[in-house]
Amino acid sequence: MKGEGAGRPAVVLLSGGLDSATTLGLALGQGYRCHALTVDYGQKHNAELDCAARVAAALGATSHRVARIDPGGIAGSSLTDTAMSVAKDRTDVEIGEGIPDTYVPARNTLLLSLALGYAEVLRALDLFIGVNAVDYSGYPDCRPEFLSAFENLARLATRTGVEGGRFRVHAPLMSWSKGRIVQAAMEVGLDPALTLSCYDPDDHGRPCGRCDACILRARGFADAGVEDPAIRKA
Amino acid sequence: MKGEGAGRPAVVLLSGGLDSATTLGLALGQGYRCHALTVDYGQKHNAELDCAARVAAALGATSHRVARIDPGGIAGSSLTDTAMSVAKDRTDVEIGEGIPDTYVPARNTLLLSLALGYAEVLRALDLFIGVNAVDYSGYPDCRPEFLSAFENLARLATRTGVEGGRFRVHAPLMSWSKGRIVQAAMEVGLDPALTLSCYDPDDHGRPCGRCDACILRARGFADAGVEDPAIRKA
């Protein structure tokens, strides 16, 4: 894999969570010049945005930008709607079943659209997104067929596509367990303490330890046999 | 066509220009309960946003919302970049050739992504967008194959799609000339003076009369044999 990027520009969606940070590390390891893009879409966990900036700097992204979306009341998810609460203490079976309340309608479509526009401006053809097998179980827009459909759309939607360019959406974590993601994070030199996975952190940006994201993250660290420094810090 | 909507909810992208306003009128005429969505993506012609609000109220949209995107320096178009100027006084041949500088990278992908998320929240399956044959000549994301690819993506991207819902992107103006659009605007009772098509209006929201959008609009009114009240006003 090393050198596949060969200095080519890439846009890497970076949320501030462990998965997208690991994805950035992997893209950099492949030799891409990585332009990190964080999208503030009104998520309640704003502490993620600070994490994204620290991760981009620590790993050596070429640039880091934040695009902001004010959905103007059109959202509908426990991640963006202050009137909804994030589910806590769910069992494995509950986490694995159906589409969670934390599903943000069309979120990855929106994130990839912004990344695509940015890629056109940068003349980049490679987009990276940290979706993975665990998300796969619940979110429709984390499946390989969704990413293929987006690549097809990108070809038809853009000046670059009309001129023969072919965008590729890389999702290196797609089929990985959380444990393997934690191992990869260590291999790319990511300090997990810089990342925040929690859907419902406190005012100081500390994880709740009880939402699906915290539960899955804890399992990943346990599986990898690594202590999570973000928990130790909290 | 009348009654096709039968009271079903629809999301209508409304820019404040003549085309999207006419599209809203057509959707209402088909019986849809129309939720108008205006997206402020940092376009320089902010007067459009005021026009959108007036058009939504005048035509009888069920609601009108404005979503805002601050691209954070990732845009690259003469419509959003204050360092670029809008082309003026271009000939028919020049307008018809290639992709114009006013192309906003991945714009319609982004607009439709927002509309899709909003539609999921509203439990709507119908999206309307005012792309047309004139745009077709220049913008890749105004072509029928782009809209088909988006419908396919929407099916894979959403909870609604997973549950068997099928989104439809309606583009009633797709194959129409500007003259026919002006005729349709009259038929749906739209006052064109409420709309602004210009890419580069002055500080009072008056059209420049010289950009591609103004030139095409003027031709449409001439073809339809109708005087443009927005020009008279200016």
CA distances B20 to A100, B141, B142, B219, Å, are: 35, 15, 13, 18
pLDDT at B106: 83
At residue A208, does pLDDT exceed 70?
yes
**Inter-chain contact B157–A141, Cβ cutoff 8 Å?**
yes
Residues B32-84 have pLDDT tens digits of 999 999 998 776 567 888 899 999 999 999 999 998 888 776 665 555 555 55
Chain-centroid distance, C-alpha A162: 28
Residue pointed to by tokens 């108008």: B36
∠ CA A108-A109-A111, rounded to 5°: 60
Q: Which residue has the higher pLDDT, A76 or A196?
A: A196
pLDDT at B2: 57
Nearest CB to B149 within list A76, A141, A152: A152
- Choosing among A35, A40, A69, which should be mutated to test the B contact, i.e. which has the most B CBs within 10 A? A69
pLDDT digits (tens, 9 = 90+) for A107-163: 899 999 999 999 998 999 999 999 986 655 567 888 899 999 999 999 999 888 888
Quick one: average pLDDT of A171-182? 93
Instruction: Kindly determine whether residue A156 and residue B162, on different chains, have CB atoms separated by under 8 Å.
Output: no
Q: What's residue B69's pLDDT?
A: 86
pLDDT of residue A82: 56
Contact B159 A108 (CB under 8 A): no
Joined together, the tokens standing for residue A65 give 């930008």
Cβ–Cβ of B117/A140 closer than 8 Å? no
Q: Which residues of A touch B67 (CB under 8 A)?
A: 69-72, 74
The residue in chain B having the minimum alpha-carbon distance to the alpha carbon of residue A109 is B113
Please, which residues bridge with residue A68 across strands? A40, B70
Task: Tell me which residue range forms the domain holding A58.
Answer: 9-233
In this predicted structure, the answer to whether residue B105 has a pLDDT above a threshold of 70 is: yes
pLDDT digits (tens, 9 = 90+) for B149-170: 999 999 999 888 888 999 999 9
Supply the CATH number for residue B61's domain. Answer: 3.40.50.620
Please name the member of B67, B107, B153 whose beta carbon is closest to the beta carbon of A74.
Answer: B67
Report CB contact under 8 Å: A109, B105: no
Does residue B4 belong to any structural domain of this protein? no
Our CA-based measurement puts residue B191 at a distance from the nearest CA of chain A, in whole angstroms, of 27
* pLDDT classification of A28: cutoffs 50, 70, 90: very high
pLDDT at A152: 96
Q: Does an H or E element contain A127, and which?
A: strand A126-128
Residue A210 lies in a domain: yes
pLDDT digits (tens, 9 = 90+) for A50-59: 899 999 999 9
* Ramachandran area for residue A42 (φ above 0: left; ψ -120 to 50: alpha; else beta): left
Q: C-alpha angle A179/A106/A45, rounded to 5°?
A: 60
CA distance B65 to chain A (A): 6
Compare CB distances from A106 to B70, B106, B157 and report the shortest one's residue: B157
Statement: residue B143 has pLDDT above 70? yes
pLDDT of res. B26: 98
- Whether A147 is covered by a domain: the verdict is yes
**Model pLDDT, residue B74:** 65
Averaged pLDDT for residues B86-115: 74
For A3-21, how does the pLDDT look when each residue is reduced to its tens digit (9 = 90+)?
788 899 999 999 989 999 9
Count of A-B CB contacts under 8 Å: 162
pTM of the model: 0.86
Amino acid at position B55, single letter:
V
Is the CB of B159 less than 8 angstroms away from the CB of A150?
no
- B3 within domain boundaries: no
- Contacts A167 to B, Cβ<8 Å: none
Would you say residue B195 lies in a domain?
yes
B49 or B9, which is more confident: B9
Q: What is the pLDDT of residue A162?
A: 85
Residue-level pLDDT at A101: 61
Q: Report residue A122 as tokens.
A: 């940068």
Report CB contact under 8 Å: B67, A66: no
pLDDT in tens, A63-75: 999 988 887 766 6
Separation of alpha carbons A32 and A7, rounded Å: 5
Structural contact between residues A148 and B145, judged by C-beta atoms closer than 8 angstroms: no
Overall average pLDDT of the B175-179 stretch? 91
Of residues A153 and A233, more confidence is placed in: A153
Q: Is the pLDDT of residue A180 over 90?
A: yes
Q: Do B159 and A114 touch (CB under 8 A)?
A: no
3-class SS at A164? coil
Q: Flag if B74 and A68 touch (Cβ within 8 Å).
A: no
The distance of A133 to chain B (nearest Cα, Å) reads 16
* Better pLDDT: A61 or A215: A61
- Predicted pLDDT of residue B153: 96
Q: Decide if B117 and A104 are in contact by the 8 Å CB cutoff.
A: yes
The answer to whether residues A87 and A216 touch, using CB atoms and an 8 Å cutoff, is no
Q: Is the pLDDT of residue B115 over 70?
A: yes
Q: Is A113 helix (H, G, I), strand (E, B) or coil?
A: helix
What domain count does chain B have? 1
Would B1 be classed as within a structural domain? no
| Residue scoring higher pLDDT (A62 or B88) | A62
- Whole-number pLDDT of residue B202: 86
Kindly identify which residue of chain A lies nearest to residue B112, measuring between CA atoms: A110
Cβ-defined contact of B65 to A76 (cutoff 8 Å)? no
B193 secondary structure, DSSP code: G
Which tens digits make up the pLDDT trace of B178-222?
A: 999 999 999 999 999 999 988 888 888 888 899 888 988 999 999
How many C-beta neighbours within 10 Å does residue A157 have?
Answer: 32
Please check the confidence at residue A209 and state whether its pLDDT lies above 80.
Answer: yes
Q: What is the structure's pLDDT at A230?
A: 83
pLDDT on residue A76: 58
Residue A186 lies in a domain: yes
Does a structural domain hold residue A27?
yes
With cut-offs at 50, 70 and 90, classify the pLDDT of residue A179: very high
Residue B94 has a pLDDT of: 66
